Amino acid sequence: MDDDDVDRTLDAVGPRLKQLRLARDMTLTGLAEATGISVSTLSRLEAGLRRPTLEQLLPLARVHGATIDELVDAPRTGNPRVNLRPIACGDGSTVLPLTRRPGGIQAYKFVLPAPAAGGDVEPVLRTHEGYDWIYVLNGTLRLLLGEHDLVLKPGEAAEFDTRTPHWFGATSSGPVEFLSLVGKQGERAHVRAAPKAGA
């Protein structure tokens, strides 16, 4: 996907968000309460005055009962039988939806760029309804979760209630890739413990 495709895709998000909200007969205030995104930010997103970030797209997709690729309607790429559609966001990050059905637990692969040299990213913690399970594939992930400042390395995982203020990003060591399973409140990833040795 070249820069022109990214620009066209992101420019089309605003009108689509507004159509979805009106189709649900929802006010900006109601959507703000459901997503944790301010009314002014939602208004700017719908008007095309601001491009969405991954942290904004996740709760919007959940509330509207859509997958992120349906919300953004990114151009199709890759193997047409698989039909995965990576989405480039305005903050330099990319999300690849791994599931296609709305509702239930959604799976995504995230690729977050390293912060620009000398340009510290000011974390903005957000909250929304739901539950998240993340697993780091490559790189180092910084996760701010409430009062905790965590650094996760490849092979490490975290799970949390997304009503807890949170933010994640790459560290200065380079970009980071991780998987995320996002579910509605009360839906959690089930982890089966390994059997004891000799059992």
pLDDT of amino acid 96: 83
pLDDT of amino acid 157: 93
pLDDT of amino acid 17: 86
Tokens of 21: 């909200």
Contact 67, 99 (CB under 8 A): yes
pLDDT of amino acid 156: 93
| Average pLDDT for runs of 10 along the chain of length 199 | 58 80 84 90 88 81 76 55 64 79 77 75 82 91 93 93 90 89 66 54
Write out the DSSP string of 32-65.
HHHH---HHHHHHHHTTSSPPPHHHHHHHHHHHT
pLDDT of amino acid 99: 76
Contact 54, 95 (CB under 8 A): yes
Residue 6, SS3 per DSSP: helix
pLDDT of amino acid 197: 58
Q: Is 74 exposed, middle or buried (0-12, 13-18, 19+ CB in 10 A)?
A: buried
Enter the pTM of the model. 0.57
